[in-house]
Amino acid sequence: MKTRGNGRDIILQAFHWNLVKTQGTGTIDGRAESWYRILFDMADDLAEIGFTIVYLPPPWRDDSRWESEGRHGGGEGYFWHDFDLNSRYGTKRELIDLVDALHNRGIRVIVDLVTNHRDGARMTDDQWEYPGECWNIGGFDDGGAFMDGRYDLNLGEVRVYTRIKKAMNELLNECGVDGWRWDYVWGYAVDDVVSWIKSTEKTEYFSVGEYWQSSPHMTNDPMIRKYGPDERDRIIGWARDSGGCAFDIILKREIQTANPANLKYGLNARPSPDERELVVTFVDNHDMGASPYSPANGWGQQCWPCPPYFKSMAYAYILTMPGTPCVYWPDCFDWGLKEEIRRLIAARKKAGIVARSGWTDLTNRHTGFAGIVQNENGEETLAVSIGSDYAGPGAGWSVAAEKRGEWTVWIPKKLNC
């Protein structure tokens, strides 16, 4: 069982934290179209840029509310209160139409599944008694608690497991969804993910988990019990055990240093091709990065944002190197990096770079980051210099994409036409 795509995928995370808000102060408030409809109308553009997978926000209804120090929010999908697919992002019918439109352009769709927790105080259709056996409080939770753990689901309870499986089948069979982004996976056992993937009626195309837990002391983390304190081993272990991918949190940590020379320490640059293909690389996401400004919540979560001056270099790295790259919506469509991202994706595709590609490290001879990447046949087809004095591989190669003073990408002249 493997749900890792075809090795050539490029993901777009097609949402951010400030899109929709329960109190009507999201960035699309006042527009006649839902977010699903806006994406539907952009399907041609997404295909032209080169994305092969679109990653959508949590699809279930969420009208939660929160207020803190003058800010407010809720409705983002992460405190859903039933399995109704008529969410703040659009209706079930609009979701089906969006998936069809993307499929017609060769783009697959994954959705964010939040299976660990929900807004237990506001259940409407799924009346699981609280506290009780369906919850961490009153039952048993096999993973780390989300926040204070009050509304953590007990996935070992058959009612919870079977209801989530039913909801996944609805997304796969009725809506045409192709796979999952698993939220907060250190909060539950990887066996739960494997069981759902095996038991749903349709085989998923792609699956990726968010294992973001650096502390080696969380005794209720199933991955620490299995793989020990090293975060690298736990991330790779989760991906291998699940049959899918995991986000490259190690690379994200190196991106935060804003030092190009440190990029080679990410999991996507590991010596083993079997490990390189297990990771999804990214620069920012809805939790870690900024979002376009909303009066409800300012510039969004920003719990670990990439330094803005380093973003272009970070994208030059993930879009040329092994792993499966994931682009964050605002970076492409709000922060002015769209054309750079388009050119980098085109160079990657011309060069035939895949998730398990091999590469030659040139950083010991140059400043910053420099390397030569191979296609799936082991041929050197892409060279990259990021914040480096590396001037390229020479005769027979030409520049495929460049941002002067920051990065340059070369591919063989025979491919650059």
- The CATH number linked to 146 is 3.20.20.80
pLDDT at 357: 98
Q: Is residue 417 assigned to a domain?
A: no
Q: Is residue 406 assigned to a domain?
A: no
Ranking 39-48, 68-77, 254-263, 313-322 by mean pLDDT, the lowest is 68-77
What is d(CA 134, CA 233) in angstroms, rounded to the nearest whole number? Answer: 31
Q: Is residue 365 assigned to a domain?
A: no
Domain that holds residue 263: 11-356
Cβ atoms within 10 Å of 137's Cβ, excluding its own: 16
Task: Select which of 210, 241, 277, 340 is catalytic.
Answer: 210
Q: Which two tokens stand for residue 134?
A: 């369906």
Q: Is residue 52 assigned to a domain?
A: yes
Domains in the chain, number:
1
pLDDT at 140: 63
Told to judge if 210 belongs to the known catalytic residues of this protein, a careful annotator would answer yes
pLDDT at 288: 97
Over residues 381-408, the mean pLDDT reads 97
pLDDT at 141: 65
Strand pairing partners for 328? 13
The larger pLDDT score, comparing residue 121 to residue 77, is at: 77
Q: Residue holding tokens 């799924």?
A: 126
Q: Mean pLDDT for the chain?
A: 93
Q: Which two tokens stand for residue 100?
A: 């069809």
- pLDDT > 90 fraction of the chain, expressed in percent and rounded: 77
- Report pTM: 0.97
Told to judge if 170 belongs to the known catalytic residues of this protein, a careful annotator would answer no
Task: Select which of 183, 277, 284, 340 is catalytic.
Answer: 183
Give the confidence band of 189 by pLDDT, cuts at 50, 70, 90.
Answer: confident
Is the model's pLDDT at 122 over the cut of 80?
no
Q: Is residue 378 assigned to a domain?
A: no
pLDDT at 135: 84
What is d(CA 21, CA 210) in angstroms, rounded to the nearest whole number? Answer: 23
What is d(CA 400, CA 409) in angstroms, rounded to the nearest whole number? Answer: 6
Q: Is residue 388 assigned to a domain?
A: no
Over residues 206-227, the mean pLDDT reads 89
Q: Is residue 1 assigned to a domain?
A: no
Q: Is residue 228 assigned to a domain?
A: yes
- pLDDT > 70 fraction of the chain, expressed in percent and rounded: 97
